Amino acid sequence: MCRHLGWLGKPRSLAALMLEPPHGLLVQSYAPRRQQHGLLNADGWGAGFYDIAGSDEPRRWRSAVPLWGDTSFASVAPALSSHCVVAAVRSATVGMPIEASATAPFTDGTWLLSHNGVVDTSVLPTCAGAESVCDSAILAASIFSRGVESLGELIVEVGAADPRARLNILAANGSRLLATTWGDTLSMLHGSDGVVLASEPYDDDPRWIDIPDRHLVDAHGGEVSVTALGGSR
């Protein structure tokens, strides 16, 4: 399983979110603390963010090399700041291509989306526009085509159709951050300057809380709601 992270709040640099925390995505790429599937996340990384200037279109930087090997990113990341970020490090599922286009975050031109998990794509509604043949890219295209606002409903449907699926999603559009838990961990740190959602805590701040499995987190306008998703286990 990959590890992902979302931020919505006051502008923060990609370095502060991904590289500097003692157990941030950089360390999670080789030594995750809570990963249940896979030992490390060396099959690429990606970061997407929205311009502070106010464009609706996200910027993305994705790569198929391990985050720890990307020295150019380490140099530039302190200078890239945003109020809304989705980033991930990848552990490719067996059989999936290792290429930048298979690496989260995916986009439809407005939303950024990361999938932590695995899904049998034969249960997904047919839709065009997937960035890669990777299961996560096809799932992202399905979510975009249905509408990210209906994320919870689609996850319940897909989870029922593929009981072995793990469907932890993280999505953002610049003013809203959404996440699901379905088969893997997610933690939240809601501070005075914003909210972080992450597959696992990036430090030992006691304010981190764990989101229960099969829940939807919806953050916008300074408010965060956590609601149970339907579907029994």
Catalytic positions, please? 2
Is residue 189 a contact residue for ligand GLN (CB under 6 A)? Answer: no
Q: Measured from the CB of residue 1, what is the shortest distance to ligand GLN in angstroms?
A: 4
Nearer to ligand GLN, 17 or 167 (CB): 167
- What are all long-range contacts of 92-99, with beta carbons under 8 Å and residues at least 24 apart? 92/43, 92/44, 92/134, 93/118, 93/134, 93/135, 96/133, 96/134, 96/135, 96/136, 97/132, 97/133, 97/134, 98/43, 98/44, 98/64, 99/44, 99/64, 99/132
In terms of CB distance, is 38 or 231 closer to ligand GLN?
38
Give the alpha-carbon dihedral of 118, 122, 125, 129, to 10 degrees: 70
Is 134 among the residues that bind ligand GLN (CB under 6 A)? Answer: yes
- Check residue 199 for interaction with ligand GLN (CB under 6 A): no
- Least Å distance, CB 119 to ligand GLN, is 7
- Residue 2 binds ligand GLN, judged by CB under 6 A: yes
Interacting residue with ligand GLN among 29, 107, 121, 136 (CB under 6 A):
136
Q: Kindly identify the residues of this chain, within the stretch 74-133, that bind ligand GLN according to CB under 6 A.
A: 90-93, 96, 102, 115-118
* Least distance to ligand GLN, CB of residue 38, Å: 6
Give the 3-state secondary structure percentages of the chain, helix then strand then coil, rounded to 5. 25, 35, 45
Q: Are 119 and 158 in contact (CB under 8 A)?
A: yes
Binding residue for ligand GLN, selected from 47, 83, 112, 135, defined by CB under 6 A: 135
Of 47, 11, 13, nearest in space to 29 by CA: 47
Distance CA 219, CA 212 (A): 16
Does residue 185 belong to the site contacting ligand GLN (CB under 6 A)? Answer: no
Which residues are at the interface with ligand GLN (CB under 6 A)? 1-2, 38, 90-93, 96, 102, 115-118, 134-136
